[in-house]
Structure 1
Amino acid sequence: MFSQKARPVAWPLFFFYFFFCCLIGVMMPYISVYYKSIGLSASEIGRLMSTFTLSGIIIPHFWGWLTAKIGLPRRILQIAVIGCFIALLPFNWNKEFESLWLLTCCMALFYSALLPMTDSLAVRSIRRLDVPYTRLRVGGSIGYVVAVAAGGFLIGQFGAWIVIPTMCAFLALAVITIFFVKEQAYEVSHHKEHVSFMSLLKTPESMLFFVLAFLAFMSHAPFNIFFAVHLENAGYSGEAIGLLMALGVIIEIILFLFFGNTVKRFDVVHLVILCFICGMVRWFLVGWFADVLAILIFTQMLHCITFALFHMVSIEQIRRLFPERYAGQGQAMYSAFAIGLGGGLGMVLTGYLWQWAGGAWAFTAAGMVSAAALVIMLMSQRSH
């Protein structure tokens, strides 16, 4: 999978993605089940989950600035991972919304910066090793599959209380792994740049990309926080929910492993249009036909398009729109505006919509967001 030259750099990053995404694979689909089991309302769950993503609006910029200032990305990443682990531990002993919200804010200070920092470090580390970014990122997808399958099984066997200890175990393994990642210090340039980051950010192409990314992550909000609850309400067991979620990511793994370079041959416009068309179909079917297993399997197979393909296109667009000296800032802006603001706002709205109208309409709203993104994309092409 990796050449002998690339292995010392690639494998530690691969396994860090693996264990950190194991944490995500338990937290994102199942912590809402845990919160529901301790009596929190849907709006409270939505507000708690949105804190992680809304913090991504500002926090990654601070960590990016600190990394650029010190020039030691691995050391900063180690501090962030350890801080995240320490902040997670008290979740085991707190069950009130107010205390959970404060703990979530503390954890979010570290958690929200981890993936953008790792992505930036990974892209820089492999740029001369002939290793596609997707070969590293697939470690996260594999970890996510393992976690959702294991999480569903553990909840079925022991109950929802097992969610927090399982998250702690996976994050502890990520802490250990980060110490094996090779240092890739940033080159700090003192020369005056001829083109500023803001001027690149304000180009019509960049603004269109960030708006579409914002809507893409907003449309995934119901899936990220309430999919497991939605399936639980439809009568699925914990093991079945875990397997269904794992199916979507298995297809994603195939895309990451074998088509990382192939997608570059296609027009990015056509790929983005495909992502949003599949999003419209996926969320409508999940909302109204979750009790039909065959339809649910089909919608999970679309995950490799609505999420994985869009993420691959996004990473490539950031690399193309922003030169290397601005790559970290471009990645931070993607995390802040799209994942943070788009995903966070979507989670808050989903929590209230779920409580007022139910799961079917929450997923229908997600489909409408995908439809809006598709319209914006098509209109932008007509203006050219």
Structure 2
Amino acid sequence: MFAKNARPIAWPLFFFYFFFCALIGVMMPYISVYYKSIGLTASEIGRLMSTFTLSGILIPHFWGWLTSKVGLPKRVLQIAVLGCFFTVIPFNWSDQFTTLWLLTCLMALFYSALLPMTDSLAVRSIRHLDVPYTRLRVGGSIGYLLAVAGAGFLIGHFGVLVVIPLMCTFIGLAAATTFFVKEQAYETNTQKETTSFLTLLKTRESILFFVLAFLAFMSHAPFNVFFAVHLSDVGYSGEHIGLLIALGVIIEIILFLFFGNAIKRLDVVHLVIMCFVFGIIRWFLVGWFASVLWVLIFTQLLHCITFALFHMVSIEQIRRLFPERYAGQGQAMYSAFAIGLGGGLGMVIAGYLWEWAGGAWVFTAASGTSALALVILLLHQRR
């Protein structure tokens, strides 16, 4: 999978993605089911889940600044992941919304920085190796897949109380993995650049990219928070929900493994158009036809396009729009504006819309968000 000279750098990053995304595989689909079981309302669940993504608006910039000041990305990553581990533990004994909200805010200070920090470190670490980013990132997909399927099985047999202990286990293993990551200190002497990050950020192409990424993650927000709840309401068991989510990730893994370099040879506009077209179809079908198993299977197969392909294109666009000096800031902006603000705002809106109109209309709104992104892209291309 990795060349001999790349293994000492690639494998630790691969396994960090594996365990950290296993945490996400337990938390994102199932913690909302756990919250519902202890009596929280849909709007409270939406507010709790949005805290993780809304914190991504500012927090990654702080960690990026700290990394540049310290100059040791591995050490900063260890501080963040250990902080996340110790803040997850008290969730085991909390069942009141206010307490959970305070704990979530504290956890989010560390959690929201981990993925952008790791993406930036991974891209930087392999820049002189013949290793595509997706070959590392597939570790996260595999971890997510196994965690989703395994957690669904355990929930079906032991109940939703297993969710928090599983989260503690996976973030603890991710923390242990960081001790094997190869340290690559940043250079302290940098040459003066003729173009600033702000100038690159204000280009027409950059603005369009971030707007589309914002809408893409907003459209995925109901899936991240309420997909398991929606299927549970329709009548699916925990095991079936886990297998359905795992199906989408299996296709995602295939895409990451075999098409990592292929996207560089394809037209980015056509790829993004395809992502949003299938997003319109996917969310509408999830909203109104989730009770039909073969339709739901079809929508999960589309996950490799609406999420995985768009993420691959986004990482490539950040690499193309921002030179290596500003790659970390570009990644932080992507995490802050798209994942943080777009995903967080989508979660809050989804929570209130769920209580007001129900799950079908929540996913219909997600379909409409994909349609809006498609219209913006087509109008920009026409202009």
With the length of structure 1 as denominator, give the TM-score of the two structures.
Answer: 0.99
Paired residue for 2:364? 364
5+ residue gaps, structure 2: none
Please give the residue correspondences for 1:234-249 in structure 2 after superposition, counting only pairs within 5 Å.
234-249=234-249
Paired residue for 2:166? 166
Structure-2 separation of matches of 1:109 and 1:56: 9
**What is the one-letter code of the residue matched to 2:227?**
F
**What is the one-letter code of the residue matched to 2:147?**
A
Paired residue for 1:67? 67
Paired residue for 2:281? 281
Paired residue for 1:129? 129
With the length of structure 2 as denominator, give the TM-score of the two structures.
Answer: 0.99
Paired residue for 1:11? 11
Q: How many residues align?
A: 383
Cα displacement (A) at 1:70: 1.0
Cα displacement (A) at 1:264: 1.4
Structure-1 separation of matches of 2:326 and 2:45: 36
Structure-2 separation of matches of 1:366 and 1:217: 10
Paired residue for 1:89? 89
**What is the one-letter code of the residue matched to 2:249?**
V
Cα displacement (A) at 1:191: 3.0
Residue 179 of structure 1 aligns to a residue whose secondary structure is helix
Please give the residue correspondences for 1:286-325 in structure 2 after superposition, counting only pairs within 5 Å.
286-325=286-325
Structure-2 separation of matches of 1:208 and 1:285: 28
Structure-2 separation of matches of 1:358 and 1:151: 26
Structure-2 separation of matches of 1:231 and 1:7: 41
Please give the residue correspondences for 1:44-123 in structure 2 after superposition, counting only pairs within 5 Å.
44-123=44-123
Cα displacement (A) at 1:184: 1.5
Cα displacement (A) at 1:188: 2.9
Cα displacement (A) at 1:69: 1.0
Structure-2 separation of matches of 1:171 and 1:328: 23
Cα displacement (A) at 1:6: 0.2
Structure-2 separation of matches of 1:151 and 1:349: 27
Residue identity (%): 80
Cα displacement (A) at 1:192: 2.4
Paired residue for 2:331? 331
| Runs of 4 or more above 4 Å deviation | none
Cα displacement (A) at 1:183: 0.6
Deviations 1:205-224 (A, max 9, x none): 00000000000000000000
Structure-1 separation of matches of 2:186 and 2:287: 46
Residue 180 of structure 2 aligns to a residue whose secondary structure is coil
**What is the one-letter code of the residue matched to 2:260?**
G
Cα displacement (A) at 1:186: 1.6
Deviations 1:202-246 (A, max 9, x none): 000000000000000000000000000000011101000000000
Paired residue for 1:266? 266
5+ residue gaps, structure 1: none
Paired residue for 2:215? 215
**What is the one-letter code of the residue matched to 1:225?**
V
Residue 193 of structure 2 aligns to a residue whose secondary structure is coil
RMSD of aligned residue pairs (Cα, Å): 0.6
**What is the one-letter code of the residue matched to 2:180?**
F
Cα displacement (A) at 1:335: 0.2
Structure-2 separation of matches of 1:194 and 1:69: 22
Deviations 1:41-91 (A, max 9, x none): 000000000000000000000000000111100000000000000010000
Deviations 1:274-310 (A, max 9, x none): 0000000000000000000000000000000000000
**What is the one-letter code of the residue matched to 2:121?**
L
Structure-1 separation of matches of 2:170 and 2:147: 9
Structure-1 separation of matches of 2:291 and 2:187: 54
**What is the one-letter code of the residue matched to 1:180?**
F
Residue 191 of structure 1 aligns to a residue whose secondary structure is coil
